[in-house]
Amino acid sequence: MLVAALAVYPAFGTGYGVRAMLQIFMWIALAGSWNIISGLTGYVSFGHVAFFGAGAYAGAILIAKAGWPWVLAAPAGGAAACALALVIGYPCLRLKGPYFAIAMLGLNEVLRALVSYFEGLTGGGSGLSLPTLHATVPIYYAMAGTAAAVTLLTFLIITSRFGLRLMTIREDELAAEAMGIDTARHKLYAFLLSAAGPGIAGALAARDQGYIEPISVFPLATTITMIVMALFGGKGTVWGPVFGAAVLFVAQELVWARFPYVHQLLFGAIIVAVVLLMPRGVLGILQVKYRLPRTI
Amino acid sequence: MPAPVLELRRLSKRFGGVTAVDGVSLALEPGRIYGLIGPNGSGKTTLFNCITGVERRDGGEVLFGGERIDGLKPWQIAQRGIGRTFQIIRVFPELTALENLLVVTRGAIEEARAHALELLRFVTLERLQGEYAGNLSYGQQKLLEFARVLMRDPALILLDEPAAGVNRTLLNDLLAAVARLRDEGKTVLLVEHDMKVVMGLCETVFVLDHGEKIAEGPPGAIQADERVIEAYFGR
């Protein structure tokens, strides 16, 4: 029912409605992907938007400079993000706790600087324009597919022993190693899987917006938003990031429309409330309280 | 004498200026239970950590089944067949009891589940299989950790203070289980402060003091050893 409703929505919805749904799909893909590495292994990535930005630039360059159609540029954006994850995951995943978080934060700043520096390819600080194309509805479906794929991937991981092993890293990495679990390899796989979604979403967002610049695709606020969405919905659950992304996006829009000057403040208050009052998130609390299976 | 399962050759580990393990050599034969005792801070847990790869040794060799394993990663050593428990329990609290065992398995899920349930039955935790490990009592968590070690069917099992904090009934079950494992041909090395446990179960006891092995022998002889008494009670 829901799937069918979402599938026909572009035919009936307003322009604003379709764009809003597209944004929700993007946040589901981002929050869900962050959940795969950070919600399951406990390695908090504070620079996950780097994969979004890498996908956006890879996709935009392929479209604008190489003339690729966006349907091919989008998976290429995902591949670029995975390649980046492979290169930086290998050294960075050896870092524990806050050091990993800080390294990821640093990575994002480095990427932003690099993109600004290589003006010939990226347009530097003045940004990169894509050829005009009205493709909001096809991109709506592509983004919906990305969100669905990330959620399905999360489901498959969480219901497998691979997913349980990722959780042992979060629970007690030393004990996991002592049990014969190759934690380094598991973390790297999870990291790669968590980079693909943001890479694809980044390329799609770049195509949709038609113009990207370093500050628009590497903002720290995007990382924080996806983290808050995953935490609010329930980290380490399948549907938590979906729920968190949908609810918080709508809440943010409502607040922004009514209280344009204080919406940042209110969003900040939500972050503090979530962290303090329900670190497990909505679905996490329900899961523990009502003994729900891991499939939620 | 059969080929040793585990052999330490002049194993050393320093932390800054402190020598935690100081040239310890010992050999464990298959199918026997060994005790490792010594006052607090004598290097027992550090020795465990060096064997299992948690700590890098500074000198000496560790041989398992005749092959060098020092320098391997903890997970590689575990996969070769050394299982351990921890002094402070390290179960995975937000995984269920059953999941705690399933994580180490590969291959067909049905077989893995059957094997895990069998081991949960072995440690009398079968009815708690769906409970989060963090909700189990201290003693139950200890049993779960023990069952988790057995999932890989290790040839050598290192137990760090299995008796601490476990009530008498549970303890007797645990000790009976350890004796059964010995009868199956497995080798057990246990660190323990409870002398009754050590004396009742171990065939050979090693004594550490300030990182050095100061005595080795059957429990009766160890209890009468002058150096051991001195290490525990002072001169």
B73: which chain A residues are within 8 Å (Cβ-Cβ)? 177, 182
Chain-chain contact of B52 with A178 (C-beta, under 8 angstroms): yes
- Residue B228, in any domain of the structure: yes
**Cβ pair B195, B120 in contact under 8 A:** no
Angstroms from B136 CA to nearest CA on chain A: 15
Name the minimum distance, in Å, from the CA of A292 to any CA of chain B.
11
Q: How confident is the model at residue B69 (pLDDT cuts 50, 70, 90)?
A: very high
- Are B102 and A167 an interchain contact pair (Cβ–Cβ within 8 Å)? no
Interval A200-223 mean pLDDT: 92
Helices (H), chain A: 2-12, 15-34, 40-41, 49-64, 70-92, 97-117, 119-122, 136-158, 161-178, 183-209, 214-217, 220-233, 240-258, 263-277, 281-290
Q: For all residues of chain B together, what is the average pLDDT?
A: 91
pLDDT of residue A57: 95
Task: Please say whether the beta carbons of A226 and A31 come within 8 A.
Answer: yes
Confidence of residue A261 (pLDDT cuts 50, 70, 90): confident
Which of the pair, A5 or A139, is modelled with greater confidence? A139
Residues in chain A: 296
Query: Are B78 and A174 inside 8 Å of each other by CB?
Result: no
- Asked if residue B104 belongs to a domain, the reply is yes
Q: Is B155 on the interface with A (CB under 8 A)?
A: no
Answer yes or no: is pLDDT of B233 > 80.
no
User: According to the model, what pLDDT value does residue A40 have?
Assistant: 96
CA separation, residue B219 to residues A122, B45, B162, B214 (Å): 75, 20, 18, 14
Across the range A59-87, mean pLDDT stands at: 95
Query: Angle at CA A184, nearest 5°, toward A180 and A185?
Result: 85
pTM for the structure as a whole: 0.92
CA distances from A170 to A42, A72, A165 (A): 4, 36, 9
Contact B109 A161 (CB under 8 A): yes
Instruction: Examine residue A180 and state whether it is found in any structural domain, yes or no.
Output: yes
B contact test, residue of A179, A185, A288 with most B CBs within 10 A: A179
pLDDT tens column, B35-59: 999 988 899 999 999 999 999 999 9
Chain A interface includes B72 (CB < 8 A): no
Which residue among B84, B92, B148 sits closest to A167, beta carbon to beta carbon?
Answer: B92
CB contact under 8 A, B148 and A179: yes
Supply the DSSP symbol for A120: H
A139: containing domain: 24-219
Is residue B226 very low, low, confident or very high in pLDDT (cuts 50, 70, 90)?
A: confident
Question: Does B78 lie at the interface with A, CB-CB under 8 angstroms?
Answer: yes
Q: Closest by alpha carbon to B158, among A165, A184, A179?
A: A179
Contacts of B90 in chain A (CB under 8 A): 172, 174-175, 178
**Element housing B188 (H / E):** strand B187-191
Does the residue B1 lie in any domain?
Answer: no
The shortest C-alpha distance from B184 to chain A (Å) reads 21
In this structure, is residue B209 part of a structural domain?
Answer: yes
Give pLDDT, residue A127.
83
Mean of pLDDT values over B98-111? 93
Per-residue pLDDT tens over the stretch B205-217:
999 999 999 989 9
**Which 8-state DSSP code applies to residue A48?**
T
Q: Which residues contact A250 (CB under 8 A, 6 or more apart)?
A: A24
At B139 the pLDDT is 87
Measured between CA atoms, the residue of chain A closest to residue B112 is A161
Q: Do B92 and A177 touch (CB under 8 A)?
A: no
* Closest CA in chain B for residue A167: B95
pLDDT category at B235 given cuts 50, 70, 90 is low
User: Has residue B164 been placed in a domain?
Assistant: yes
- Residue A2 counted as domain residue: no
At B73 the pLDDT is 95
In the prediction, which pLDDT does B131 show? 93
Tokens 């948690």 belong to which residue? B54
Number of domains in chain A: 1
- pLDDT, residue A14, reads 83
CATH code of the domain containing B14: 3.40.50.300
CA distances from B224 to A28, A135, B42, B206, B227 (A): 69, 87, 19, 14, 9
Residues from chain B contacting residue A164 (CB–CB below 8 Å): 95, 99, 102-103
Pairing label, strands B6-15, B59-64: antiparallel
Task: Please give the interface size between A and B, counted as residue pairs whose CB atoms are below 8 Å apart.
Answer: 69
Predicted pLDDT of residue B232: 79
* pLDDT at site A157: 97
Structural domain contains residue A50: yes
| Residue A173 in domain | yes
Over the stretch B131-143, which tens digit does the pLDDT of each residue have?
Answer: 999 999 988 999 9
Q: How many domains does chain B have?
A: 1
Residue A72, in any domain of the structure: yes
Residue of A210, A193, A156 lying closest to A37 (CA atoms): A193
Q: Which residues of A touch B (CB under 8 A)?
A: 161, 164-165, 167-168, 170-172, 174-183, 288, 291
pLDDT in tens, A144-189: 999 999 999 999 999 999 999 999 999 999 999 999 999 999 999 9
> Above pLDDT 90, what percent of chain B?
71
Mean pLDDT score of chain A, rounded to an integer? 91
